[in-house]
Amino acid sequence: LDYCFQHGLLYEAADYHNAVFVGYDGKTPRYATLRGTLSGSGFKRDVTGSNKRFCFFLPPKGESKKLAVYEAAIETMAHLSLEKTVDKYRLSLGGISAPKEGETAYSFKKPAALESFLARHPEIEEIELCTNNDYAGRWAAEHIEKAYQGKYRMVKNLPEKEGCDYADLTKERYEKQAARQRAACSR
């Protein structure tokens, strides 16, 4: 969080206290997405005029040839907090487009964020797919894998629990740790 605040990647919106995740084109902000911070708030949306070619991403410490991709910025940060390693780029796709379960007539379009990022980072050799473990996330991971295999080493790393994303797993881990701490303090 400190890194994100210090580098202008994350801040709190003054009006409704939403988290604002920012993506840059060099030093110019070109993308911003809002995420509600109030308990139970499902508020999510991109700021008008945002360019998905420059979605939120976290750089590695030092050089890396690895890239992990996520559906949303919050999942990017959540997975980092679970892994605690800063050895790869982590890119939010700014959402995915997938058919509803059972639909067949749907064409896959490569994510603009991923295409643009790879064009700016020719050193990338490996793409780790960290989409949500739901129908849409699995569908997107499968199609991204097909689209880029052969040019990149492809690794699927979806959350273990079906229906979950990395933000869900991070919240679950936090709640378990908090419960253990409360139990230890009540003894």
Tell me which residue of 108, 100, 115, 94 sits closest to 143, measured CA to CA. Answer: 108
Q: Are 13 and 21 in contact (CB under 8 A)?
A: no
Span 20-70, pLDDT tens digits: 999 999 999 999 999 888 777 788 899 999 999 999 999 999 999 999 999
Supply 143's token pair. Answer: 């199609």
Sites in the chain below the pLDDT cut of 50: none
Q: Mapping DSSP to helix (H, G, I), strand (E, B) and coil, where does residue 76 land?
A: helix
- Candidates 68, 22, 79; CA nearest to 46 is 22
What pLDDT is stored for residue 139 in this prediction? 94
Beta carbons of 50 and 33 less than 8 angstroms apart: yes
| pLDDT for res 94 | 95
Edge-to-edge strand ranges of the sheet holding 153-156: 57-58, 89-92, 66-70, 126-129, 153-156
| pTM summary value | 0.89
pLDDT value at residue 13: 87
What is the pLDDT, as a whole number, of residue 144?
97
Distance of alpha carbon 86 from alpha carbon 6, whole angstroms? 16
